[in-house]
């Protein structure tokens, strides 16, 4: 149809600034959709990355009980924003806006057998414009265990070198 042709033509001129504005709208919509789940998830931040054409969403949260980070991921995938195809849940010690920090969490806290899941047949868009039908979407739970499991949670704390607070970097650098 003419509308679909116009949408395809318009999508070819999508700029990074447009993607950035769309990312902000996706962050707000996902946060508003996910926050009230289970009588209020402790969502600290939601980030969408225009560098990925808004297909990656990171949800930063503090899970209170087992399964809440996965619930947040499922909620993000089922939000009214159908563009994102990957959701990564991270904990409160990870900077959700820094893909390096998100990648660290992904690489160090993920147990692939239990923390990765995919769903086929979810709606999606192409270039944020026209619905293209059903696609495979997935999520990764890269958050620590919940607050109700403090011993397990402590196992996933970041390693800190001994005497870090008393170390003076200049002592080790050449003059």
The torsion angle over the Cα atoms of residues 135, 77, 46 and 13, rounded to 10 degrees, is 30
* pTM: predicted TM-score of the whole model, two decimal places: 0.82
> Once rounded to an integer, what is the mean pLDDT over residues 38-56?
94
User: How far is it, in rounded angstroms, from Cα 16 to Cα 28?
Assistant: 19
Based on its alpha-carbon atoms, the radius of gyration of the chain, rounded to whole angstroms, reads 19
> Once rounded to an integer, what is the mean pLDDT over residues 96-106?
95
Q: What is the pLDDT of residue 11?
A: 52
> Once rounded to an integer, what is the mean pLDDT over residues 59-80?
94
What is the helix (H) or strand (E) element at residue 108, kind and residue range? Answer: helix 99-109
Distance of CA 134 to the CA centre of its chain: 21
> Once rounded to an integer, what is the mean pLDDT over residues 59-84?
93
> Once rounded to an integer, what is the mean pLDDT over residues 37-58?
94
């Amino acid at each position: 149809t003419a509308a679909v042709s116009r949408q395809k033509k318009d999508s070819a001129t999508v700029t990074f600034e447009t993607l950035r504005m769309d990312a902000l709208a996706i962050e707000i919509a996902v946060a508003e959709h996910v926050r009230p789940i289970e009588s209020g998830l402790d969502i600290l931040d939601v980030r969408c990355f225009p560098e990925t054409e808004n297909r990656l969403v990171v949800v930063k949260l503090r899970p209170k009980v087992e399964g809440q980070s996965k619930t947040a991921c499922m909620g993000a995938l089922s939000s009214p924003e159908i563009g994102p195809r990957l959701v990564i849940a991270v904990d409160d010690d990870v900077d959700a806006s820094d893909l390096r920090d998100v990648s660290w969490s992904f690489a160090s806290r993920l147990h692939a057998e239990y923390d990765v899941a995919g769903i086929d047949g979810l709606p999606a868009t192409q270039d944020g414009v026209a619905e293209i039908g059903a696609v495979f979407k997935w999520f990764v739970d890269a958050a620590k265990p919940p607050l109700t499991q403090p011993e397990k949670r402590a196992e996933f704390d970041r390693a800190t070198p001994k005497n870090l607070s008393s170390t003076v970097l200049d002592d080790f650098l050449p003059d």
